[in-house]
Structure 1
Amino acid sequence: MALLLASVTACSGEEWARGGMPHNVTEQSERVLSLWQGSWVAALATGAVVWGLILYACIFHRKRRRKGAPENELPPQVRYNLPIEILYTAVPIVMVAVFFYFTARDQDYLFEKTDKPDVTVTVEALQWSWRFTTEYQGKTVQVVGVPVSDYRQGPQLVLPSGGKTVRFKLESDNVIHSFWVPAFLFKLDVIPGVHNQFDIKTLNHTGTFAGRCAELCGQDHSRMLFNVKLVEPSKFEQYINSQAARSTQ
């Protein structure tokens, strides 16, 4: 109870409703949040039933000494109750099957790709920072970072908000990393020789959001920080045009 109260006091009402998850800024993250909340509801309901059965057994089936019975007499032993055995075998199978269905369904949705994304970002994981190469309407902008102690000082990836589709292509030529933006409610490993990709569709949110490597990758893993800045589409076009013009000078 103390741990529960301490956890509750650390969250606002909105955060509590999200199960402690960060603000989600993509269309796909809405599905992840829904799966997370549904899993918690199912887990809490299962826990309530299990604890209820345990308390019921403790209270109503505790050892009672019959009048005149010897002290070492055991209570009646119940074995081989076939209906109960079928029940506690079938119910977990059904629960796992339901969890598997929703997880597999949402995983397929998260990895769906559009034929023509609005923006393409090649993410190259370095030791220990990131190189972002953004392609938009035939123009290319590249940002390279260095290890930092604050994500706001790391390389900044600028993306458009307002329902734009962004494709991420993950590359590494050294060790395994993991590309993680908590506000996406999603992360994916960056593996040498494996060309992982995923699409997101941004919501109408603007702001700067933290990003980091989520796979232990060496000495400066903890400093492999970056940030994602979501701006309005018109400001994104201005950013791309100004950075592309500067690179040609």
Structure 2
Amino acid sequence: MAFATAITLFLQGCAGWQSALDPKGPAASELAWLIWFFTGLCAVVWVLVMAALAVPLLMRSRQHAEPLALDAGADSRKLRVVMIAVGLTAVILVGLTLLSFFANRTLAAIGSDAALTIRVTGHQWWWEVRYEDATPSRILTTANEIHIPAGEPVRLLLTSTDVIHSFWVPSLSGKLDLIPGRMNVLDIKADKPGIYRGQCAEFCGAQHANMGTFIIAEPRAKFDAWWNDQLQPAAAPTSDEAKAGGELFLKRPCVMCHKIGGTPAGGTVAPDLTHVASRQTLAAGTLTMSRGNLAAWIADPQGVKPGSHMPVVDLSGDELNAIVAYLEGLK
């Protein structure tokens, strides 16, 4: 009973929204099968090797009247065992190589008919997400959260502006590096709607651990509605406090880095805030989206995410509340 409980608890670590052993798409399923096969085969090989070592240790060696006498029959048997072991090793290595080759071919075919292309650019320490479209007016730029239509292949174009990052959403795909000056291609597909967490998988500096992302897969109709909403300019503030916050935003350093559609704010070195309040998290998954967390992030970004490139802006309490009220309305 205790053993069964321990195994059950152990296997719980194989599930969740960020587990390569809990696949939710064809690429992840192919990789998970490969992981289990490699693990099982290696376990079998380990058991056989341990048995081969244990047998001669446990068997009593025969006493020879002449220790230096040659036993051609025994030597022949030992040589045969070694040759068989070498042959099996070669077969296993070739077999695993072929499995890897066919798995890579399967992964490459996933995005062959992708209708949606998204350019993902890694920054220290956030993700810029740009939805490509043949119509320039429908090109969309957002940050940190990637919406995709469920059940459809999506092509991600990966690059970086500073250091090497690595994009990894374990439930949907393997990981792939984002390299400055180079464009890598990763195809993903979510079998069903859901939220799948990703993470930068290449150490990229002090806040590497807080460079998360979320893939939000939703039905095609809901995805199209989301895209159309995101293309709209920022909502005009309605309350006096939010109006004052909008004016303060344009007068403070915020405007130099961030963009808000429909306003003079056109910065390109930090996340687009046109619809920031519609996101589920702040600072690339560091904080959940709420009024309190939004205020904390603006008031003390270095306390929340030390080393981040967002500076501390000197604001009074009333000014902070006004800017938070304004940003809270950008949905």
TM-score bin, normalised by smaller chain:
0.7 to 0.9
- Could you say what secondary structure the match of 1:183 adopts? coil
Greater gyration radius:
2
TM-score with structure 2 setting the length = 0.60
- Equivalent residue number for residue 119 of structure 1: 116
Separation of aligned partners in 2, 1:25 and 1:189: 21
Q: Residue 51 of structure 2 corresponds to which residue in structure 1?
A: 52
Deviations 1:15-67 (A, max 9, x none): 48xxx74421222222112212221221122122222222222222x45779x
Q: 1:128 maps to what in 2?
A: 125
SS in 1 for 2:232: helix
Matched AA of 1:93: A
Distance in structure 2 (CA, Å) of the matches to 1:22 and 1:88? 31
After TM superposition, give the deviation of residue 109 of structure 1 in Å: 2.2
Q: Is 1:83 paired with 2:71? A: no
Report the AA paired with residue 246 of structure 1: P
Question: Which residue of the partner structure matches residue 226 of structure 1?
Answer: 213
- Given the two structures, how large is their TM-score scaled by the length of structure 1? 0.78
SS of match in other structure, 2:11: coil
Tell me how far 1:115 sits from its aligned partner: 5.1
- Structure 1 gaps of 5+ residues are 145-154
Instruction: Provide the rounded CA distance (Å) in 2 between the counterparts of 1:10 and 1:89.
Output: 35
Could you say which residue in structure 1 is the equivalent of 2:25?
Answer: 26
Greater strand fraction, Structure 1 or Structure 2: 1
1:110–1:198: 8 Å Cα contact kept in structure 2?
no
Q: After superposition, give the CA deviation of every residue in 1:207-247 in whole Å (9 maximum; x if it has no partner).
A: 21211110011121111111111111111011001111236
Q: 1:33, 1:185 within 8 Å by CA — same for their partners in 2?
A: no
Give me the whole-angstrom Cα distance separating, in 1, the residues matched to 2:43 and 2:180: 40
**2:223 maps to amino acid:** F
**Structure 2 CA distance for partners of 1:191 and 1:129, relative to 1, 3 Å:** same
Aligned match of 1:150:
none
Relative to structure 1, the CA distance from residue 22 to residue 229 in structure 2 (aligned partners, 3 Å threshold; closer, same or farther) is: farther
Cα root mean square deviation, aligned? 3.1
- CA–CA separation in structure 1 for the residues paired with 2:91 and 2:189: 33
Q: How does 1:89-168 map to 2 (within 5 A)?
A: 89-112=86-109, 114=111, 116-135=113-132, 138=135, 139-144=138-143, 155-161=144-150, 163-168=151-156
Does residue 9 in structure 1 map to residue 6 in structure 2?
no
Percent identity at matched positions?
Answer: 24
Q: Distance in 1 between matches of 2:147 and 2:131?
A: 9
Task: Show the counterpart of 2:202.
Answer: 215
Whose RCO is larger (CA < 8 A, sep 6+)? 1
The Cα of 1:128 is off from its aligned counterpart by 1.2
Q: 1:55 to 1:142 in 2, by over 3 A?
A: same
User: Quick one: distance in 2 between partners of 1:211 and 1:47?
Assistant: 33
Q: Give the whole-Å Cα distance in 2 for the aligned partners of 1:178 and 1:21.
A: 15
Matched residue count? 225
Counterpart of 1:193 (choices 173, 181, 189) is 181
In structure 1, C-alpha distance between the alignment counterparts of 2:205 and 2:14, rounded to whole Å: 33
d(CA) in 2 for partners of 1:59, 1:115: 57
Q: 1:199: how far off?
A: 1.5
Distance of aligned partners of 1:64 and 1:86 in 2 relative to their CA distance in 1, 3 Å threshold: closer
Q: Distance in 1 between matches of 2:134 and 2:31?
A: 30
Q: 1:102: Cα distance to partner?
A: 0.5
**Aligned partner of 2:154: which letter?**
V
Gap runs ≥5 in structure 2: 235-260, 263-331
Compute the displacement of 1:168 (Å).
Answer: 0.3
Q: Distance in 2 between matches of 1:243 and 1:185?
A: 26
